[in-house]
Amino acid sequence: MGHSWVEIELADMGRKKHLRVKALVDMGATLTVLPKRLAEELEIEPVSTEQVMTGAGPVRVERGRAWIKLGGKEEAFPVWISSFVDKVLLGVVVLESLGFEVDPTTGTLREKPLLMYSQEAH
């Protein structure tokens, strides 16, 4: 399977500034990653700096919050703000929280049921 690209809408938490962008679906990433220049353009403020693991080893990145819209569904999510990543990487938290998965045969997104764990008393 090749790379999966999707169009998403990103906005600041007040939803005053927003942009439509192409995002690379990254099934190996937990959170969504925004290039620093894009976060600055949208005025998405960092709230903390944290160490994360990458394919090249541990790095420190800023963490913020952004409003993300995908396939007609939207929500506020934590995002990484990176000075070294040059594209938007859409992580599994956004993907699965909004009820999507990647179809491995086509590389496109498809809706999937949201799951809630329930343990019945026996």
Tens-place pLDDT, residues 34-61: 999 999 999 999 999 999 888 889 999 9
CATH code for the domain in which residue 54 is found:
2.40.70.10
How many domains are contained in the chain? 1
What is the tally of helices (H) and strands (E) in the chain?
2, 9
The pLDDT-based confidence of 9 (bands split at 50, 70, 90) is: very high
- Supply the pLDDT for residue 33: 96
82 inside domain: yes
**Mean pLDDT within 75-80:** 97
**Mean pLDDT within 62-90:** 96
Range of the domain at 70: 5-111
40 inside domain: yes
CA separation for the pair 100, 17 (Å, rounded): 25
